[in-house]
Amino acid sequence: MNSKNDNKKLRESFEQAANIYQQARPDYPEEMFDDLIHATNLNPGDRLLEVGCATGKATLPLAKRGFKITCVELGAELAAVARQNLVGMDVDFINGSFEDWQPEAENEFDLVFAATAWKWVDPEVRYIKAWQVLRPGGHLAFWNADHVFPDDGDPFFREIQTVYYEIGEGKSVENNDWPGPGELREQRDEIENSGLFEVVHIRHFDWERIYHVDEYIKLLETFSGHILMEEWKRDKLFNEIRVRLNSRPEKSVRRHWGAVLHVARRKD
């Protein structure tokens, strides 16, 4: 999938997972938010703009730290769930795409950030738009939660690949689809090539979560590729996952997550 149309479909697919997203997706490490605040010199009361908040996985930890947050979220269902999750917090919601959103005033935000959402925003537009809404000296920050594979990681993921291959959805070996902790791709060049930002901080984080069978299936049901999979493929895959995990004594799988926090300062 590489055309704009396919990307749009993938990007919009998360609506279908709105009711399970908050519970199924991993929490980001608290240490990452502390690191972000330290790198950007943010203070409580500062104004933050979040691009693609989904159900508020990254919004809540920052709202709890006393920031005023405006969220631009494409999915109406996701935004509705986020509203419930953030009741009583200083958070506003705008339903629409970041690319099309017209802010009331320019240069009013101290930080623009995106958690596992930056990759969905049009690369031609995202840096320009972020630059426009940031105050002079403001920051841009983004990260993705990705799957990483430590040497002592759970062998399940390599073993289940046979099923993915059978249904025509296997990982390619050439593309380094098996990064270890600390090996996720950094986007320093892309940020600097925009000409609008200078990178001030990049740091890798990794953490691990244990998923029981149903929790793991739920997690997969929040991934765009699995949401849009043909039904027979998904049934075969999920059935096989259940059989394999239920045959384990602990009936669970250990999944290792990684994220690269990118922080860049707006050039004036």
Residue 7, pLDDT above cutoff 90: no
pLDDT digits (tens, 9 = 90+) for 44-57: 999 999 999 988 99
Cα–Cα–Cα angle for 107, 110, 113, rounded to 5 degrees: 105
Beta bridge partners of 207: 257
Q: For residues 147 and 121, is the Cβ–Cβ distance under 8 A? A: no
pLDDT digits (tens, 9 = 90+) for 131-145: 999 999 999 999 999
Cα–Cα–Cα angle for 182, 188, 189, rounded to 5 degrees: 130
CATH annotation of 4-150+178-209+256-266: 3.40.50.150
Check residue 53 and give its pLDDT.
92
pLDDT digits (tens, 9 = 90+) for 17-48: 566 656 777 889 999 999 999 999 999 999 99
Check residue 41 and give its pLDDT.
97
Rounded average pLDDT over 222-241: 91
Task: Write out the DSSP string of 140-200.
Answer: EEEE--EE---TTS-THHHHTHHHHHHTT-PPPTTTT-SPPTT-SPP-HHHHHHTSSEEEE
Rounded average pLDDT over 210-226: 91
Parse the chain into domains and list their residue ranges.
4-150+178-209+256-266
Check residue 44 and give its pLDDT.
96
Check residue 71 and give its pLDDT.
97
Residue 173, pLDDT above cutoff 80: no
Cα–Cα–Cα angle for 115, 225, 234, rounded to 5 degrees: 135
Residue 1, pLDDT above cutoff 90: no
Check residue 43 and give its pLDDT.
97
